[in-house]
Amino acid sequence: MPTELSELGEFELIKELTGDVELTNVSTIKGIGDDAAVIAAGNDAMVVTNDLLVEGIHFDLMYTPLKHLGYKSVVVNLSDVYAMNAIPEQITVGIALSSKFSVEAVNQLYDGIKLACKLYGVDLVGGDTTSSLTGLMISVTAIGRAPFDKVTYRNGAKENNLICVSGDLGGAYLGVQILEREKRVFKENLGAQPKLDDYTYVVGRQLKPEARKDVVEKLNELGVQPTAMIDISDGLSSELLHICTQSKVGCRVYEDKIPVNKETENVAGELNIHSLTAALNGGEDYELLFTINMNDYDKIKDVEGITVIGHITNESEGYNLINNQGMPIKLKSMGWKNFNE
């Protein structure tokens, strides 16, 4: 009996497909299993990452402007490069298009791609275009560079390290809930205009995220070398468990320390969704989650936009969220998963 993809999910499928992959080139420093691969390039490390965005799975063109989509398709890849503590320098873009798209529409998509390249100082150096029977697919490969001793992996967290996060969490998930709600209203009442004026922040977090170049630059300026780092694309709980399992450590994070924007809280209340649930499991925030040596606390404690949310423990203590009542709750990976109906 064939095994359904939904039985495995994305990460288990990756293990199934790549568990027996062997690295044979001495220039390959890090292969599958982190935010990006790491390849020797002279005196530096070159990091390479790729994401595929598929219409109907990762985006809905009923409420996603093509320029925003082009911008986002670049940013989500740059975020993976920054999560390696590296600086992106080039991208390539592959697109598959159906006949429903006009030349003007494709230009809008590329306007967003070019804007992201300009703002992040990245060169668009190539790619591919082909046809699609149904919709739009975008594949972006990002290439970055860092000194070997600066590259940061997911597996370097140590007991008593502090757990830090940039920005705030949960907004992107609530943004897509609002957009989906307005889509339903539009379909039920043709001609109804979306009411988004009160949701600028969360909708912006969904449609036009930003990669945290500033955080990587600030940490470097302060002389803080993260011991482990990952970007938050699948939710805080999922990403923290990636760091813990690959580093073979446990963790304690505190509910009252997890940063949530006030508008995010308001929208969560309106939608009857706990803002903590959105922060832990919502995903697509593209903030950076990282661990640092406790001795570096004084360097980052007053940095705006960086919050210490907990600490790394011995693996035997497990993965725990300490709620506002002081009770430990076991963290689970509940982020968005591919292949599920």
pLDDT tens per residue across all 341 residues of the chain: 777 766 666 666 667 666 666 777 888 888 878 889 999 998 899 999 999 999 999 999 999 999 999 999 999 999 999 999 999 999 999 999 999 999 999 999 999 999 999 999 999 999 999 999 889 999 999 999 999 999 999 999 999 999 999 999 999 999 999 999 999 988 888 777 778 889 999 999 999 999 999 999 999 999 999 999 999 999 999 999 999 999 999 999 999 999 999 999 999 999 999 999 999 999 999 999 999 999 999 999 999 999 999 999 999 999 999 999 999 999 987 654 544 44
- Residue 235: predicted pLDDT: 93
Instruction: Tell me the pTM.
Output: 0.92
3-class secondary structure, 281: helix
- Residue 330: predicted pLDDT: 95
* Nearest-angstrom CA–CA distance, 242 and 237: 9
- Residue 236: predicted pLDDT: 96
- Residue 30: predicted pLDDT: 86
CA dihedral 29, 32, 35, 38 (to 10 degrees): 20
Domains for the chain: give ranges and CATH numbers.
5-150 (3.30.1330.10), 162-330 (3.90.650.10)
- Residue 195: predicted pLDDT: 82
* Nearest-angstrom CA–CA distance, 214 and 233: 18
- Residue 36: predicted pLDDT: 92
Residues ≥6 apart with Cβ < 8 Å to 63: 179, 182, 183, 194
* Nearest-angstrom CA–CA distance, 279 and 266: 14
* Nearest-angstrom CA–CA distance, 145 and 81: 8
- Residue 289: predicted pLDDT: 98
- Residue 54: predicted pLDDT: 94
* Nearest-angstrom CA–CA distance, 308 and 301: 8
* Nearest-angstrom CA–CA distance, 170 and 268: 9
